[in-house]
Chain A
Amino acid sequence: MKPSFNLHHALFIGFCATLLVAIKSMMRMKLGLTGHSMFLMSLFYLVCYGATNKIGSITLCGLMAGMLAMILGVGKGGVFILLKFGLPAVAMDLGLILLANLFTLRWRFIILAVIGSLAWSSKSAVQNILIGMDLQVALFQFGLSCLQGSLFAIAGASLVPLILNRLDAHDLIIRNGMADK
């Protein structure tokens, strides 16, 4: 496994991050459900991992998305949006290091998506507890956002194998080492 990304993969990761930020800014309040950002995040992060098949790709996609959101001023902007995109990505990469080639591809995506949504809801739970919110209320919000986030994340993760099949059919990625079984 080469240690650094070649320009083609780096550009694809950057474009996925751009699309993620663009769609997120469009969907801001249209649906009104918390956790819809988790659908987009798990979809794009797992597509990046699927297209490049390297361990650092999800973290890089998350950091790129955070930096682009900072630059484009999406949402409230500022440095916290870097954490919002970056923490689930880092958690997914750590989970990937632990999982290695354990399950089939489809289940690996679903497990990674659930890990990502857990990281995302625990980030806001830790923020709430640090602010001084009562423990019961914070845990209740944590549980709720965990549930909603996991549902959306699993929905996103189940779309990823279809996308990867399409990309393979267009001869854009080479599926060596990423067999389905």
Chain B
Amino acid sequence: MSWLRLSHSHSREVISPAVQDKSLSDRMVKSKKKLVLCALAIIFSIVLSSSAFLVTRQQLGLLLLINLVMLIHAWFQQAKLAPLLKLFAIQSFITIGLYFLFYGSERVIEAVFVVIRIILVMLPSWWLASTQNGHQISQVLCLLLSTKWAFVITTSIKILPFITQEARDIYHIQCLRGARITPKALLNPLNWYELVQCVLFPLLIQLLSLSKHIARSANQRHFGSTAKHTHWPLN
């Protein structure tokens, strides 16, 4: 049996570079397809949202059906329904409450239609955020931007964990130095200015000096000297 195993491994080694090339090009085609799908999804959500403004009341039913399908699609992709429900609750409370305040209970039906339209405007955006991940949206957006701004966006996203960690560190150090910014002290609104002064100002200073360093190092690596920007295309 061992000679069989030997020949198998040998044949695997002979075939593997070609197989690797094929899988690489496969992956590139698949990622291009995902990019096109993402761009189409963005356009689709824009069209749906703006049509929620423009359709007449009779066609609202059809629009509701399409949005319900989108809701189910997003729910199958483990999206979080909580923000949508919160929006629905708050909007209906405010709108119906205001209509009631101004007009009594005669025009509440109209208020309900208004709330439905508001939800229909927001739902495609929520669907877009739930079904497409950020990588694809950023790739579609980077097609529209020049090299410099695409670099800025990718750097900003990458640096977000650093920013949050830095904010946390500054907060802890300032608490140790005796600043009145513990959660109990923050109940007093007079201490909010101290929070801004102790945490936000140093954070902004750090960000500006960090941007200076990153810009200098990127320029010394000849960033921006080629016209087409280079980044890894595969997901």
Assess A11 versus B215: contact at CB under 8 Å? Given A68-B157, A136-B102, A166-B201. Answer: yes
Among B103, B114, B197, B204, max chain A CB count under 10 A is at B204
- Tell me the bound Cα distance from A106 to B85 in angstroms: 42
- Tell me the bound Cα distance from A16 to B218 in angstroms: 19
Contacting pair A7 B224 (CB below 8 A): yes
Give the residue name and chain of the B residue nearest to A7 (CB). B215
Interface status of B118 (Cβ within 8 A of chain A): yes
Interface status of B45 (Cβ within 8 A of chain A): yes
Contacting pair B126 A77 (CB below 8 A): yes
Nearest-neighbour CB distance to chain B for A144, whole angstroms, equals 10
Nearest-neighbour CB distance to chain A for B139, whole angstroms, equals 10
Contacting pair A15 B159 (CB below 8 A): yes
- Tell me the bound Cα distance from A60 to B49 in angstroms: 25
Contacting pair A15 B156 (CB below 8 A): yes
Interface status of A47 (Cβ within 8 A of chain B): yes
- Tell me the bound Cα distance from A79 to B43 in angstroms: 9
- Tell me the bound Cα distance from A47 to B201 in angstroms: 11
- Interface digits, B196-229 against A, CB 8 Å rule (1 contact, 0 not)? 1100010111011111101110110001100000
Contacting pair A131 B152 (CB below 8 A): no
- Choose from A8, A16, A19, A79 the contact partner of B125 (Cβ within 8 Å): A79
Give the residue name and chain of the B residue nearest to A78 (CB). B125
Assess A140 versus B164: contact at CB under 8 Å? Given A68-B153, A75-B83, A132-B113. Answer: no
Contacting pair A18 B129 (CB below 8 A): no
Interface status of B92 (Cβ within 8 A of chain A): no
- Choose from A7, A51, A73, A170 the contact partner of B134 (Cβ within 8 Å): A73
Nearest-neighbour CB distance to chain B for A76, whole angstroms, equals 5
* B-contacting residues, A1-35, CB 8 Å: 5-8, 10-19, 22, 29
- Choose from A10, A12, A73 the contact partner of B149 (Cβ within 8 Å): A10
Q: List 8 A-B contacts (CB under 8 A).
A: A10-B152, A12-B208, A16-B207, A76-B87, A78-B122, A137-B102, A162-B201, A172-B212
Task: Using CB atoms and an 8 Å cutoff, list the residues of chain A in contact with chain B.
Answer: 5-8, 10-19, 22, 29, 47, 51, 60, 64, 67-68, 70-73, 75-81, 127-128, 130-134, 136-137, 140-141, 159, 162-163, 166-167, 170, 172-173
In the A-B complex, the 8 residue pairs with the smallest Cβ-Cβ separation, listed nearest first, are: A78-B125, A77-B129, A11-B211, A14-B152, A8-B215, A7-B215, A18-B156, A14-B156
Given A11-B211, A140-B98, list of 4 further CB < 8 A pairs? Answer: A6-B215, A14-B155, A133-B95, A140-B102
Task: Using CB atoms and an 8 Å cutoff, list the residues of chain B in contact with chain A.
Answer: 42, 45-46, 49, 52-53, 83-84, 86-87, 94-95, 98-99, 102-103, 107, 110, 113-114, 117-118, 121-122, 124-130, 134, 137-138, 141, 148-149, 151-153, 155-157, 159-160, 163-164, 196-197, 201, 203-205, 207-212, 214-216, 218-219, 223-224
